Amino acid sequence: MTTLPSDDRRPGRGLLLLVSAFVLLVGVGGYWMQGRPDALQGPPATEEAGNDGVSQEQINAMVESLAARLKQQPDDAKGWAMLGRSYLVMGRHAEAKEALQVLVRLQPNDPNALADLADAAAMVQGRSLQGEPMQWVQRALKIDPQHVKALALAGTDAFARKDYLQAVRYWQTITQVEPADSPIRQQAQAGVEEARKLAAEGGAVMPVPQAANGSASAAAKSASKASVSGTVTLSAALRAKVSPEDTVFIFARAAEGGRMPLAILRKQVKDLPATFTLDDSMGMGQGPNQGLAQAQKVVVGARVSKSGQAMPQPGDLEGFSVAVPVGQTGIQVEISTVK
């Protein structure tokens, strides 16, 4: 998360509160998680900046005073950072972009400045991160691969393009570098779960989560060796209820505990009977300590989904194995019941 720059000559507390609000709301807010650029808007014009009763009119005056001072002190990078972020939260996006362009010229290797400029540029071009904004984002990530705001924006761009696997990669990194109790981490995790769900519905194979430094963790490497395999068949009594193009999900979940699949594979009815191997390369990205390798026993299930949705629906056809140890081969699953 970007931090509020300090400046011995900065304006009063009202402006600081405004910029702080920007950092929380705009810097890594709900926009990137849900793909909703409208969430980037700042407080209404009548809203006060904080408990000290500073009005929007007073804030406007402070910002204009800062802008006037920067004309006399154009090399004040901290002042330009504050001005750009203030303009952003006030909805003055074109002015924010201009101020942040000056900042980037002064500090070309500052990932905070680059991510903020990407934010402003996206707002100027109709809340789209395509093109110029993503160039600034990628520059920021090249300098700091763990920069939270840049990761947030990159994930938003990927999500908007329906590249859900890439969105998971960016947002998963946020969950690994932010503290456990961080609201930003919680928002990122929610975004990751939504992207995983959409990716699974599209039949994508989810990646093994990466460690914060970008390399696979030892736990993930170990987990990738764990698997279960076997064959899925469809009961003759249910064949009249399905179509060849209907989606089939084959998955493994822990025999005890949560019902979230640890690994999932998508096929179609026309592929049945189908042999399968499930391992952590097909995992849902829960984390390095939540894969097949960490489960002592699993249940393998198969479900025909008329809707094509990963979440079970009434009318789905399904079947399950008994609990088996991880590493088991030759598992037989028959789809034989209607949910």
Please state the domain extents for the chain: 13-201, 218-338
CATH fold of the domain at 218-338: Immunoglobulin-like (2.60.40)
What one-character-per-residue DSSP string does 89-139 give?
HTT-HHHHHHHHHHHHHH-TT-HHHHHHHHHHHHHHTTS--TTHHHHHHHH
**Same topology between domain 13-201 and domain 218-338:** no
pLDDT tens by residue, 212-254: 444 444 444 443 458 899 999 999 999 999 999 898 989 999 8
pLDDT of residue 272: 94
Contact (CB, 8 A) for 151 and 158: no
Distance of CA 318 to the CA centre of its chain: 31
Q: What is the arithmetic mean of pLDDT over 250-268?
A: 83
Whole-number mean pLDDT of the chain?
76
Contact (CB, 8 A) for 252 and 263: yes
pLDDT tens by residue, 72-120: 999 999 889 889 888 887 888 899 999 999 999 999 999 989 999 999 9
CA-closest candidate to residue 27, choices 4, 2, 44: 2
Q: When comparing pLDDT for 53 and 175, which is higher? A: 175
Contact (CB, 8 A) for 252 and 280: no
Domain 13-201 has CATH 2.40.50.100: no
pLDDT tens by residue, 38-75: 333 333 333 444 444 456 687 788 888 889 999 999 99
Whether 162 shows a pLDDT value over 60: the answer reads yes
pLDDT of residue 290: 60
Whether 321 shows a pLDDT value over 60: the answer reads yes
